Chains A and B, each alone.
Chain A
Amino acid sequence: MKDNLKEILFNIIVLLIAFFIALFLGSIILLIAGVNPLVAYQAMIIRPFSSIYGLSEALVRSIPLMMVGIGISIAFRSKMINIGGEGQIQLGAVAAGATALAIPGIPKVIAIPLVILAGFTVGGIWGGIAGWMKAKLSVNEVLSTVMLNYIAFQIYLYLIRGPLIDPSELAWGTGVPQTARMPDSTIFARLIQGQRIHSGIFLAIIIAILVYFLLWRTTFGFRLRAVGEEPKAANYAGVKVDKYLILAMVLSGGMAGIAGSIEVIGVHHRVLEGLSANYGFSGIVVALFGRLHPIGVIPASFFFGLLLIGAEMMQRAVNIPSALVISIQGLVILAVVSSNLILENPKYRKKFLGFFLKN
């Protein structure tokens, strides 16, 4: 157990080193832009911690990242790569929104689960399509999930511009593509007065823990992991490989669908354009950063939440174009993900760990 702790510590140290290398490279970009990197990084790293607003916003962003990250981890356990998070979030969001609008006045304890379930179901179906195509038609899931993103996006736009558009937008003639406000009975409670952080964070953490149990403590998870690790052996042991490939993608898409639902009833209270905010892609990075483990995804999503809000704050503090901020973000992500090379290579691991354990 003590060795376990050291391993975790080792992971953290490697990741921190990677982080600092990225910051160093980023400072070159900042210097070219004529900005003092120290001031910029101060804003990026310290500021999110120095106000309740910063922390709250970091957490708000971490919730969808966590949900998508959990989904990616599930898919990965059966060796499926789900790039379709964006589409699954959008369809989950629109399904949740439509459900919420259809059930005003129902008690909260029933309404919220129904809304979440709607998002899960539709996101799951969207993920499941890719799983089915993989299992039955051998269509590469990377290809199909990316393509399904485009289709989902068009459906999403059509729905919030057409059938689901807020009637008052039409009445006023402004035509902003968004739905009406969700009924109060379907909305997550805000946790802090005046801040956007909402109770969806508890749901996300609970789901992460449940998924951990599902994967490692149940017969279902045993089969799903066996299929991912070695389909030939799973088949030999009597597992229906196709079925579990599809189920893994259903669950994975379902998690992204829940992310969409939570964004609607926790943050925006409407379904609107740009709601998915690239969480479907950032979630992949979060999952990798969390070692593709549902519990690892929890701190990873917090870290990325901080990174996202930190970048926004840096931009405001030193007044640089957002393109630069995005590239610095990209550098950090690259560095962190490539540190996997060291974390996962047993040779390096042994060497570094051996050095580390001695001290």
Chain B
Amino acid sequence: MGKIKSMEMVNITKKFPGVIANDNVNLKVESGEILALLGENGAGKTTLMNILYGLYHPNSGKILINDREIKINSPQTALELGIGMVHQHFMLVPSLTVTENVALGIKFKHKFSMDLDKVAKKIKLLSDQHNLNIEPELSISDLSVGERQKVEIIKALYFNANILVLDEPTAALTPQETDNLIKWLRSVIKEGMGVIFITHKLNEVMEVSDRVEVLRNGKNVFSTQTSKTNIDQLARNMAGREVKLATAKRKNKFGETIIELEDVWAKNERGLDALRGINLKIRKGEIMGIAGVSGNGQKELAEALTGLQKIYKGDIKFKGESIANKSVQSIIDRGMGFVPEDRLHMGTVPGFKVKENLILKDYLRRPFSKIFLLDRSYINEYCKSTVDEYNVKCPNINTPTHALSGGNIQKVILSRELKRKPDALIASYPIRGVDIAAVQYIHEKLLDARDNEMAILLITEELDELFNLSDRIAVIYEGKILDVIETAEADKSKLGLLMAGVKED
């Protein structure tokens, strides 16, 4: 089959037990354009793309390529047709080289030998052609997230992909990397590529796409030329209602310093220095944003503050007392809250009921327990009211927590941490992967807490979130704080450079 000029999905319906993931969805993309597929979590974007890639089979509907009906039964068929997919979570084997990873998908003529040199040559050629700068012989584990994504793209190009599907490609990229990706995409469509760009970030839609298709609850709800719409309209259609993200009211009076880090050094699991002399002060009633590409010490910083990570040099003061290397329980008792990055496996016990996770840090105190007996009726009352108050959507408080959506799990964690009324809260990537309604809610709660004199350390990669919420922004790079900027005086491009480790003096 020749090049794909147009790909159309017609009246696709896909049902899972209890839910209709796609309900008569239509989607069309032509070569030479970028289509943004926009929707909240659970809107059916990924299901639709998995159908296109042959991972799921629709209950009804058809796929047309160049106006001919095609059955796509497996990713192999999709690749042969020229449909390439870059998944949100990369499908690469870290211990293998770039060449080996690409070769994994190739059907060689001989079963017991493969011509890796030939593969490597073609990768080099593709890399040069597209300015991707990928060395075929490097191991995946030595590559950055952005480079890994390029390897995924090369994988697709290797099979002459003509339609490229990118599932939330910018989630883990720095602003610079994102800009480069967008530039690159704009250039390849000129050569006849068609791109489907899945995202829930509205500003990216405006920047990258020619057309937008919005899904909500598995249905097409809005479809337009990008030039004819704006962010507000897209947000309204995506959420199905008016959405206004909260922003911090500027203030210039802050309380005393609550958290103080002095020259903090810590090693990560691999024994390498992850924190290399962190100095930072966080004041009462302030949101201190930590900007940085993930993997620059954010995780260790958050865990050092909460006692989960040992530090070997320096000191951490919390309300004037040293908490460096103190036990987790004693730091919790002193009034430190923590919304961790890994919300399902650290923030909650996935197999526990919602109510058990809501009391995960309170079960030891009265009135949750007396001596050693849990007070079930009090716990039930407390959890029911918490679930109502924080708008956690769950069938009931006895539901296992892993059955909840990411946004609702985050609400469980946030409500538990905030209801304890801590003096300080560490929030790591609080909105990662949650939908816009939950983002709005979480942001409002964090700002409320700040206005009630809580000190908050907000770790995130989302520049918008940093600018909307924080009073000051500290940039972390390779375990050091490069700079602390007043948000009012910060600008995005300077911040982007700092996040990449470039400091102008």
Q: Is the CB of A229 within 8 A of B349?
A: yes
Evaluate whether A226 and B308 lie within 8 angstroms (CB atoms) in the complex, with A232-B346, A236-B347 already known. no
The reply to whether the CB of A235 lies closer than 8 angstroms to some CB of chain B is yes
Q: Is the CB of A232 within 8 A of B345?
A: yes
Q: Is the CB of B350 within 8 A of A230?
A: yes
Residues from chain A with Cβ under 8 Å of B340 in the complex: 236
Q: Is the CB of A222 within 8 A of B374?
A: yes
B 323-368 contacts with A by CB, 8 A: 327-329, 332, 338, 340, 342, 345-352, 356, 360-361, 363-364
- State A266–B306 Cα separation when bound (angstroms): 52
Q: Is the CB of B361 within 8 A of A238?
A: yes
Q: Is the CB of B328 within 8 A of A226?
A: no
- Which of A217, A347, A350 neighbours the largest number of chain B CB atoms within 10 Å of its CB? A217
Interface size for A (C-beta < 8 A) is: 20
- State A240–B363 Cα separation when bound (angstroms): 15
Q: Is the CB of B361 within 8 A of A217?
A: no
Q: Is the CB of A220 within 8 A of B345?
A: no
Residues from chain A with Cβ under 8 Å of B363 in the complex: 219, 222
The reply to whether the CB of B369 lies closer than 8 angstroms to some CB of chain A is yes
Residues from chain B with Cβ under 8 Å of A236 in the complex: 306, 308, 328, 338, 340, 346-347
Q: Out of B350, B356, B373, which one reaches A218, CB within 8 Å? A: B373
Residues from chain A with Cβ under 8 Å of B369 in the complex: 218-219
Residues from chain A with Cβ under 8 Å of B376 in the complex: 217
Residues from chain A with Cβ under 8 Å of B338 in the complex: 236
- Residue-wise, chain A 115-145 has the 8 Å CB interface mask toward B (1 for contact) of 0000000000000000000000000000000
Looking at the assembled complex, report how far the CB atom of A344 sits from the nearest CB atom of chain B, in whole angstroms: 13
The main secondary structure of chain B at its interface with chain A is loop
Q: Out of A218, A233, A238, which one reaches B347, CB within 8 Å? A: A233
Residues from chain B with Cβ under 8 Å of A234 in the complex: 349
A 192-227 contacts with B by CB, 8 A: 217-220, 222, 225-226
The reply to whether the CB of B2 lies closer than 8 angstroms to some CB of chain A is no
- State A347–B349 Cα separation when bound (angstroms): 23
The main secondary structure of chain A at its interface with chain B is helix
The reply to whether the CB of B395 lies closer than 8 angstroms to some CB of chain A is no
Residues from chain A with Cβ under 8 Å of B271 in the complex: none
The reply to whether the CB of B372 lies closer than 8 angstroms to some CB of chain A is yes
- State A238–B372 Cα separation when bound (angstroms): 16
Q: Is the CB of A219 within 8 A of B374?
A: yes
Looking at the assembled complex, report how far the CB atom of A347 sits from the nearest CB atom of chain B, in whole angstroms: 8
The reply to whether the CB of A31 lies closer than 8 angstroms to some CB of chain B is no
- State A299–B338 Cα separation when bound (angstroms): 44
Residues from chain B with Cβ under 8 Å of A350 in the complex: 17
The reply to whether the CB of A110 lies closer than 8 angstroms to some CB of chain B is no
- State A232–B348 Cα separation when bound (angstroms): 9
Looking at the assembled complex, report how far the CB atom of A339 sits from the nearest CB atom of chain B, in whole angstroms: 22
Residues from chain B with Cβ under 8 Å of A229 in the complex: 349-352
Residues from chain B with Cβ under 8 Å of A222 in the complex: 356, 363, 374
Output the nearest chain A residue to B307 by Cβ-Cβ distance. Answer: A238
- State A250–B346 Cα separation when bound (angstroms): 26
For chain B, which range describes its interface: under 10, 10 to 19, 20 to 34, or 35 or more residues? Answer: 20 to 34
Looking at the assembled complex, report how far the CB atom of B218 sits from the nearest CB atom of chain A, in whole angstroms: 21
The reply to whether the CB of A237 lies closer than 8 angstroms to some CB of chain B is yes
A 230-248 contacts with B by CB, 8 A: 230, 232-240
Output the nearest chain A residue to B343 by Cβ-Cβ distance. Answer: A233
Q: Is the CB of A237 within 8 A of B345?
A: no
Q: Is the CB of B374 within 8 A of A233?
A: no
Residues from chain B with Cβ under 8 Å of A238 in the complex: 327-329, 332, 361
B 136-159 contacts with A by CB, 8 A: none
Output the nearest chain B residue to A227 by Cβ-Cβ distance. Answer: B349
Looking at the assembled complex, report how far the CB atom of A103 sits from the nearest CB atom of chain B, in whole angstroms: 31
- State A196–B47 Cα separation when bound (angstroms): 63
Output the nearest chain A residue to B350 by Cβ-Cβ distance. Answer: A230
Evaluate whether A219 and B328 lie within 8 angstroms (CB atoms) in the complex, with A233-B348, A235-B308 already known. no
- State A218–B375 Cα separation when bound (angstroms): 9
Looking at the assembled complex, report how far the CB atom of A223 sits from the nearest CB atom of chain B, in whole angstroms: 8
Q: Is the CB of B328 within 8 A of A235?
A: yes
Q: Is the CB of A237 within 8 A of B360?
A: yes
Looking at the assembled complex, report how far the CB atom of A80 sits from the nearest CB atom of chain B, in whole angstroms: 16
Residues from chain B with Cβ under 8 Å of A240 in the complex: 327
- State A225–B351 Cα separation when bound (angstroms): 10
Q: Out of A217, A219, A220, A230, which one reaches B349, CB within 8 Å? A: A230
- State A217–B369 Cα separation when bound (angstroms): 9
Output the nearest chain B residue to A223 by Cβ-Cβ distance. Answer: B363
Q: Is the CB of B345 within 8 A of A230?
A: yes
- State A235–B347 Cα separation when bound (angstroms): 10
Looking at the assembled complex, report how far the CB atom of A353 sits from the nearest CB atom of chain B, in whole angstroms: 12
Q: Is the CB of B372 within 8 A of A220?
A: yes
- Which of A218, A219, A240 neighbours the largest number of chain B CB atoms within 10 Å of its CB? A219
- State A350–B18 Cα separation when bound (angstroms): 11
Q: Out of A219, A230, A235, which one reaches B351, CB within 8 Å? A: A230
Q: Is the CB of A217 within 8 A of B350?
A: no
Looking at the assembled complex, report how far the CB atom of B274 sits from the nearest CB atom of chain A, in whole angstroms: 18
- State A234–B361 Cα separation when bound (angstroms): 10
Q: Is the CB of A233 within 8 A of B372?
A: no
Q: Which residues of B contact A (CB under 8 A)?
A: 17, 306, 308, 327-329, 332, 338, 340, 342, 345-352, 356, 360-361, 363-364, 369, 372-374, 376
List, sorted by A's number, 12 A–B pairs whose CB atoms are closer than 8 Å: A218-B374, A219-B364, A225-B352, A226-B360, A229-B352, A230-B345, A230-B348, A233-B360, A236-B338, A237-B332, A237-B360, A238-B329
Given contacts A217-B376, A229-B350, A233-B345, 20 further A-B contacts (CB under 8 A): A218-B373, A218-B374, A219-B364, A219-B369, A219-B372, A219-B373, A222-B363, A226-B352, A226-B356, A232-B342, A233-B347, A233-B348, A233-B350, A236-B308, A237-B332, A237-B360, A237-B361, A238-B329, A238-B361, A347-B17
